[in-house]
Amino acid sequence: MNDRSTDVASFEAVAARAVRASGDYLAAAFRGESVEAEYGTDDVKSAADRTAEERAMAVIREAYPEHAVHGEESGRDGEHRYEWVVDPLDGTNNFAADIPLFASAACVLEAGEPLVSAIYEPLPDSLYLARRGGGATIDGEPLAAENGRSLTHGTVSFVIGLPALRDEAYRSIAGQMEAALEDRCKRVIETWSPCVDWGLLARGSIEGLVAYRPDIYEQYAGALLAEESGVVSRVFDLDGEGTGLNGDDTGLVEQEASTAGVGIDGLYVAATNRETCDRLVDAAAVALD
């Protein structure tokens, strides 16, 4: 085993410990005493988020004190080739409302690109791990996004980034996009915990996921998990210049696969097969014409 593979294995082990540290705390605190939180119209910031992040960061900093970290609660700290992006509690609104849908996530970026990701759902005790070019696992078993259902009979997750929710124009587009998706499939779900949805997609439980201007904290970890489980994806720049999807100047510019990234503040469409992915792209594009 060379030094490179040893590093990646170590990153994966630390990422797993970090999300478990967050998740174990959250599982113990769930439906306990009243949640100490600041409630907004579109988000919740709770003491549980902060404590969960502290526990994950403690694991990461003990192992790699020189690495940069970027927590949803604490922000970015440090400069390094390796950066850890951490969402300690993805699904705070659910957690605060006693809804059992939430997860913890960590992703190691190498020069800005996802290298290793870990997502942990503490209530079902499900741990998803992915390495760039090395596949994905759930609880140590190989993971493959295989699904024989058609989109007509399928379920699709719709994810809207928080900044988009807070912008009236973007929120209107998101509403139109969701309506267009509903016309193509049996059911569109918004769990308010994208990492839960990423896990469902990676294991083939749902047929697709459409993320409109997604947040970085879940998107990096989720997109790598999807890619390494065999999910088909397409990524679009919504604010770029160039020829649009339909050959016109729509602003919906597809990114080349080699440089596509993960769709931060853009449009990310993923599905268990190419046909479904293309049909979801067509549906999403309706709202952007």
Any idea where the domains of the chain sit in the sequence?
Answer: 3-142, 151-286
Query: Residue range 242-251: average pLDDT?
Result: 54
Percent of the residues in the chain that have a pLDDT greater than 90, as a whole number: 76
Q: Dump pLDDT digits (tens) for 215-232.
A: 999 999 999 999 999 999
Q: CA-to-CA distance for 188 and 50, rounded, in angstroms?
A: 31
Q: CA-to-CA distance for 141 and 124, rounded, in angstroms?
A: 16
Please determine, for residue 41, whether its predicted confidence score (pLDDT) is greater than 70: no
Q: What local confidence, expressed as pLDDT, does residue 94 receive?
A: 93
CATH class of 3-142: alpha beta
Nearest to 198 by CA among 113, 81, 101: 101
Please determine, for residue 253, whether its predicted confidence score (pLDDT) is greater than 90: no
Q: CA-to-CA distance for 242 and 253, rounded, in angstroms?
A: 6
Lowest mean pLDDT segment, chosen from 76-90, 122-136, 177-191, 241-255: 241-255
Q: CA-to-CA distance for 286 and 104, rounded, in angstroms?
A: 33
Classified by CATH at the fold level, domain 151-286 comes out as D-Maltodextrin-Binding Protein; domain 2 (3.40.190)
* Residue type at 278 in one-letter notation: D
Task: Name residues whose C-beta falls within 8 Å of residue 62's C-beta, 6 or more positions apart in sequence.
Answer: none
